[in-house]
Amino acid sequence: MLMLVLGKGKTGSLVAQIARERGHSVRVLDWKENANAGALTAPTLAHIDVVVDFTNAESAVENMRACLALGARVVVGTTGWYDKLPDMKALAIRKEGGLLYGTNFSIGVQKFFQLVSQLAGLRDYRFSISETHHSTKLDAPSGTALTLREILQARHPQAHIPITSHRDGDHSGLHVVLAAGDSDRIELRHEADDRRGFALGAVLAAEWLAGKSGAWDFREVVDQVLADHL
């Protein structure tokens, strides 16, 4: 598979490394080489199987528009752009491209989401979320924390579920969900030791997306992705 990775930051560079380790050919573009999505032309994308975006919210939207308009397949690990999600999904479907997006591509976090969904079944508990990321992360709360709140509010639509965000050093990511009852407290916690889990999940997602048309949240297809991987 030939993969195009957009973004030469820490996670994007690791995506490229892992993709090569898994036998894929990889091209990488940083923001200077792809200003305003100018490099994402029909000749550039002609032989690309999947594009993987780990840039920033503004660039990701421009990149998606350019790629999906040409019917390309795109995995988007960037967060902070979901106000444009309906437009991007519609474009993917109209142009018969492929869009796979997610607030977190770590397989461990995806299992964490499933555990939190079970925890959300509790009645008479008060829920809260805290998250810690590196000091350069721009969005707060994190997309992962917002997904956790979405999962909890699906079962408790009237509940106020606060999120506390911390930005500290080079922290790879810590998310804690607390359920507090009158007689006990339950805490679910996921902590990333490094970025490799996020990058590996994105590569597995790209392998799954190749040749497919449609639009999916990673949460919807993670079990299929894992089945293919195993």
More confident position, 27 or 32: 27
* 87 and 168 belong to one structural domain: no
* 153 and 51 belong to one structural domain: no
**Which of the four pLDDT bands, split at 50, 70 and 90, describes residue 230?**
low
Could you tell me which of 169, 230, 170 has the C-alpha nearest to residue 195? 170
* 33 and 136 belong to one structural domain: no
- Report residue 105: phi and psi, to 5°: -95, 5
pTM of the shown model: 0.89
Range of the domain at 137: 107-191
* 49 and 85 belong to one structural domain: yes
Could you tell me which of 193, 195, 197, 138 has the C-alpha nearest to residue 165? 138
Share of the chain above pLDDT 90, in %: 87
- How many folded domains does the chain comprise? 2
Cis ω on the peptide bond leading into residue 141 (within 30° of 0)? yes
* 7 and 101 belong to one structural domain: yes
* 206 and 100 belong to one structural domain: yes
Task: Name the residues annotated as catalytic.
Answer: 133, 137
* 52 and 139 belong to one structural domain: no
* 31 and 70 belong to one structural domain: yes
- The CATH number covering residue 142 comes to 3.30.360.10
**Res 168: pLDDT:** 84
**Res 228: pLDDT:** 79
Q: What is the mean pLDDT of residues 11-35?
A: 95
* 184 and 217 belong to one structural domain: no
* 99 and 7 belong to one structural domain: yes
Ranges 6-10, 62-66, 198-202: which has the least confidence: 6-10
* 22 and 131 belong to one structural domain: no
Element (H, E) at 40: none
**Res 171: pLDDT:** 79
Q: Are strands 2-6 and 50-53 parallel, antiparallel or unpaired?
A: parallel
Q: What is the mean pLDDT of residues 13-33?
A: 96
**Which of the four pLDDT bands, split at 50, 70 and 90, describes residue 172?**
confident
Quote the tokens at residue 172. 């790879």
Size of the chain in residues:
230
Calpha distance 212→206 (Å, rounded): 10
Calpha distance 75→95 (Å, rounded): 16
Q: Using CA of residue 157, residue 161, residue 166, residue 170, what is the dihedral sign?
A: negative
Calpha distance 220→137 (Å, rounded): 26
More confident position, 219 or 139: 219
Contacts with 118 (C-beta within 8 Å, 6 or more apart), sequence order: none
Fill in the DSSP letter of residue 76.
Answer: E
* 115 and 52 belong to one structural domain: no
Q: What is the mean pLDDT of residues 184-193?
A: 96
For the stretch 32-90, pLDDT in tens is 899 999 999 999 999 999 999 999 999 999 999 999 999 999 999 998 899 999 999 99
Secondary structure class of 79 (helix, strand, coil): coil
- The CATH number covering residue 64 comes to 3.40.50.720
